[in-house]
Every structure is written in C-alpha cells, then in structure tokens.
Amino acid sequence: MNFGEKLGLTALRQLDPERAHKLSLYALKLGLTARPGPVTSPRLTTSFAGLLLPNPIGLAAGFDKNADAIAPLLDAGFGFIEVGAATPRPQPGNPKPRLFRLTQDRAAINRFGFNNLGAEQIAQNLANRPATGVVGLNLGANKDSGDRAQDYVDVLKICGGFVDFVTVNVSSPNTEKLRDLQGREALTALLSGVLDARGHLANKPPVFLKIAPDLSNAEIDEIAEVAETCGIDAIIATNTTLSRDGLTSPHRDQAGGLSGAPLFQRSTRVLARLAQRSQGKLPLIGVGGIGSAEQAYTKIKAGASAVQLYTAMVYQGLSLAADVARGLDDLLAADGFQNVADAVGIEMDRYL
C-alpha cells in the first residue's frame, strides 16, 4: 500500500461505510487508483472450470453490484472478477444503515438485501465490458418474487451472454428464506432450471454455486452430491456467516452477514470438507477472511483452485489483490511448485 492509498483509506473510514463504498467505485471509474494490470506468472496461471485465469485471485461479488467499474477492476491485479448480485427487477434493498465496519475484528456486517439496478441495466453495462479479462455474474432473486427459482433463470437469460461464468447465490442471509434453496429438492430443481437455460446461450458460461458457511457436514455432503448429480462446474465456499463468535466490535450484534477475518476458519472448514467429499473432482473457489498471500495459500492447500477477496480491501486497499498474487507466487516458488494447481488440496485433512 502506497502513501496515497493509505491516505485515501483513512479518509474513507471517516465516512458512513456505504457512502465510502460508493466513493471508492467512483474513484475507480475516474482512474484515481493504481492499475498494475493482471498479475501473472507461469506459477500463477490457472485453468479453472474451462476458464484460463492469469492468476487465481478473484474479486468476490458485492463490490461492483451493477457492473459499473469492470475495466479498472480487471486492471487492479485480479485474475478474475465477479459482479452483482443481479435480480430480474431493480430493487432498493433493505433500509439503511445496512453496512457496518467491525474495525477491531477486521470484519464487516452487511444486510444489503440484493440492492441493484436490475438485470436489464446490468446487461447493458456488461455489454460494454472489455473484450479481455474473466468476468462473472452473481445471480439473485427479488425479495418479493413469487418464484425465486425462475428469477435466477430470468437473470441468466438477460445477462448470461455477456459474462464468462455465472454464480447461483442461494446463500445470502439477507433475503428471507433464500437459504432454504440449499435443501436437496429445491436446489436440484433450481440448478436444473439454470443449467437448462444455460444450454440455450451461445457462450454457455460455466455455472457455479455459492453456499453458506453455516452448514453441518451432512448438509455440505448433500450439496456436493446435488452439485455433482446436476453437473454444475464449481462451488464457491463461502458466503457470509450468521455466527458472531468471538467478536469484540461495537457493531457485533447488528443483523446481517458477517464477512472478514472472523470468517476465515469457518469458511476454510467448509471448503476442506467439500474438497474431501468430491475427492478433488469438483473445482472450488475459497472465499472468506482472506487478507494475505499466506491465507490465500491456506485456502488453496485446503482444496481451492482459486480464491476471492472483498472485506480485507476495506482495511488494506485495492492494492491487496496484486500484493496477494505476487506473494502467492513467492510462496509457491519457495515450496518448489511449478504451478498453483500442484498445491491444491495438499493439506485438506488439516482443516477438517
């Protein structure tokens, strides 16, 4: 982190968190942030679910909800980015305030509730994206929808032709009863519908599933079985947690999903369980609490072929993406790995 970025982060932390988030996106679009381009090397190059990534460090969904800043984000050091979540119709989300910094815990709690401009506007933004770079879209459902499974299909039909992968998000804790879609019957029906709709798109983007960290081993195993049976391309583990274990910050009792450092161990356990259950056959993305190259490396050794960042950037800035990628390259070299794929899952049993 350079002096300018440190100064900018200090200023942003004096503002309401949601306003600071909007200003950071505005600064990106104005070109006021460093743009090193995708960090890459032979060790970092990653083949994942049919996608070729310059490095395995991604941006998680939620930062760029409306696909407003794709070009600068692709130049920020990431190997891939995910925008959204998008719902069929625009929706304002939950009442404000709905985003809280937990500075002492290096964490955040949000209860946004899928606020976005809707699939039609997001599709227009995606249509203007750069031709290069890997961009995915997180699919969501409207809060007042009468058929949430159909919502995912509708967003895919509208936006799917402009992205390189899509993620079925059934794990946000901020839309009432959304996590009920993680059950066997509901999830099978949902994924089958999405995969059928994907088959009608010319580009046929890979379909990922994003799951919650608050699952028992039996529930994780059931989701893995459904994923394999349906034939989805990857699982993202995990979304935010409802747990508040060990928090010390004043906002610790706010409702919503907790992200950041306290999520690291919980999400890594789910990741490792999935890796063990699928015996490495189902590609996994590790998310939750990553704030360093060492933590990204831990996720990879626990079974992730790629990882995603978000909350740590609140405290360490956008340069974190490039720093983690370069640091991971050094760690792989120090351990004698020729490519990051060689390290995937080598210590999964350690994190169960």
The one catalytic residue in 24, 172, 305, 319 is 172
The predicted-structure confidence for 10-23, as pLDDT tens digits, reads as follows 888 889 999 999 99
**In this structure, which amino acid lies at residue 315?**
Y
Kindly state the average pLDDT of the residues 65-93: 97
Q: Which residues contact 122 (CB under 8 A, 6 or more apart)?
A: 66, 67, 83, 84, 86, 116, 137, 159
pLDDT > 90? residue 81: yes
CA distance 21 to 27: 10
Average pLDDT value for residue range 2-8: 77
How big is the CA angle at 285 (ends 1 and 70), to the nearest 5 degrees? 55
Q: Is 47 a catalytic residue?
A: no
**Quick check: helix, strand or coil at residue 152?**
helix
Task: Tell me the one-letter amino acid at 251.
Answer: H
Residue 2: the pLDDT is 76
Q: How far is residue 124 CA from its own chain's centroid?
A: 22
User: What interhelical angle do 264-278 and 293-302 show, nearest 10?
Assistant: 30
Axis crossing angle, helix 148-159 with helix 184-198, rounded to the nearest 10: 20
Please state whether 300 falls in left (phi above 0), alpha (psi between -120 and 50) or beta.
Answer: alpha
d(CA 300, CA 59): 16
| Cα separation, 200 vs 12, whole angstroms | 44
> Model confidence at 241, in pLDDT bands (50, 70, 90)?
very high
DSSP of 265-280: HHHHHHHHHHHHHHTT
pLDDT of 10 reads 84
Residue for token pair 């910050």 = 249
Helix-strand-coil split of the chain, %, nearest 5? 40, 15, 40
What pLDDT shows up at residue 178? Answer: 67
pLDDT of residue 13: 84
Which pLDDT does position 77 carry in this prediction?
95
pLDDT tier for residue 350 given thresholds of 50, 70 and 90: very high
37 vs 270 pLDDT, higher one = 270
User: Residue 346's pLDDT is what?
Assistant: 97
Query: Are 105 and 51 within 8 A, CB to CB?
Result: no
How far, CA to CA in Å, does 99 sit from each of 64, 252, 257, 263, 326? 15, 12, 10, 17, 30
Average pLDDT value over all residues in the chain: 94
Tens digit of pLDDT for each residue in 141-181? 999 999 999 999 999 999 999 999 999 988 777 676 666 77
* Dihedral angle of Cα 331, 334, 340, 341, to the nearest 10 degrees: -130
Instruction: Please list, residue by residue across 329-349, b when 16 or more beta carbons sit within 10 angstroms of its beta carbon and e when fewer do.
Output: bebbeeeebeebbebbbeebe
Contact of 155 with 190, CB cutoff 8 Å: no
- Percent of the chain exceeding pLDDT 70 equals 98
Domains of the chain: 3-351 (3.20.20.70)
CB atoms within 10 A of CB 292: 15
- The better pLDDT of the pair 240, 175 is held by 240
Do 87 and 118 form a contact (C-beta atoms < 8 A)? yes
Measure the CA–CA gap between 21 and 289, rounded to whole angstroms.
18
Question: Using one digit for the tens of pLDDT, what is the confidence trace for 113-146?
Answer: 999 999 999 999 999 999 999 999 999 999 999 9
- Identify the pLDDT of residue 177: 66
pLDDT, tens digit, for every residue of 56-67? 999 999 999 999
